[in-house]
């Protein structure tokens, strides 16, 4: 579908109030109040491949990079090029060679192979995407390994976020919800639904 100028994801999510990418100086404050690591850290093991989609300034990416160790890998992905440049500079400065940063929409993760990721973090991602949320969810499913897990968290409800309760429930219907899942909680730990194959007749 052809889009009119200004209808791009970047144009429509550039105002930071409608995104989890607040100004960089607020990152330590956001980190202080974000309890996401407490939920996900027991699921992330040494050697795992993790995708932090909508990584912002990267505080979760660096925490996860420590958990997976040099044998593991973290894809740090964000639409905002300035965020990714900061993540790349920090990774080089801190010697975190297991972080691979990409400036990209979550609707196109073609640089991540199919079924290659053990854990996906989408912390405040979907609620900040004005468009292309369905393709983003499809990409999360594509890159997850069988048995892999995804942490899906909505940072805000409408009008500050784009995902309402009906859409949230529709998204989660495509996964097995392991923990959380209510619109009141705004987060879910979910795994891929296994396709049921019919035995040959």
155 confidence band (pLDDT: 50, 70, 90): confident
- Of 14-28, 123-137, 141-155, the poorest mean pLDDT is in 14-28
For 30-72, write each residue's pLDDT tens digit: 555 567 899 999 999 999 999 999 999 999 999 999 999 999 9
- Of 30-44, 124-138, 183-197, the poorest mean pLDDT is in 30-44
The number of residues in the chain equals: 201
Mean pLDDT over all residues of the chain?
86
Q: Which residue's entry shows tokens 């989609």?
A: 53
Cβ-based neighbours of 151, under 8 Å, separated by 6 or more: 36, 39, 40, 119, 120, 121, 122, 123, 187, 188, 189
What domains, with CATH codes, occur in the chain?
Answer: 34-192 (3.40.50.150)
Q: Are 178 and 190 in contact (CB under 8 A)?
A: yes
Please state the rounded mean pLDDT for residues 69-96: 96
Both structure tokens of 28:
């330590």
| Percentage of the chain lying above the pLDDT 90 cut | 73
For 156-175, write each residue's pLDDT tens digit: 899 889 999 999 999 999 99
Per-residue HEC secondary structure of 21-56 comes to CCCHHHHHHHHHHCCHHHHHHHHCCCCCEEEEECCC
């Amino acid at each position: 579908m052809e889009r009119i100028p200004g209808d791009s994801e970047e144009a429509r999510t550039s105002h930071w109030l409608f995104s989890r990418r607040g100004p960089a100086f607020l990152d330590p404050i956001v980190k202080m109040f974000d309890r996401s690591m407490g939920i996900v850290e027991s699921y992330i093991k040494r050697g795992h491949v993790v995708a932090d989609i909508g990584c912002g300034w990267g505080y979760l990416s660096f925490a996860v990079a420590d958990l997976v160790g040099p044998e593991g890998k973290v894809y740090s992905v964000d639409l905002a090029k300035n965020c990714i440049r900061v993540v790349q500079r920090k990774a080089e400065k801190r010697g975190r060679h297991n972080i691979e940063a990409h400036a990209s929409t979550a609707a196109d993760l073609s640089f991540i192979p199919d079924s290659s990721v053990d854990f996906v973090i989408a912390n405040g991602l979907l609620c900040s995407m004005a468009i292309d949320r369905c393709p983003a969810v499809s990409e999360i499913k594509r890159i997850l390994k069988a048995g892999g897990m995804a942490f899906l968290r909505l940072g805000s409800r409408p009008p500050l976020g784009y995902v309402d309760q009906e859409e949230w429930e529709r998204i989660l219907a495509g996964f097995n919800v392991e923990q959380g899942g209510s619109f009141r909680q705004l987060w879910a730990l979910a795994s891929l639904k296994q396709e049921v194959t019919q035995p040959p007749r």
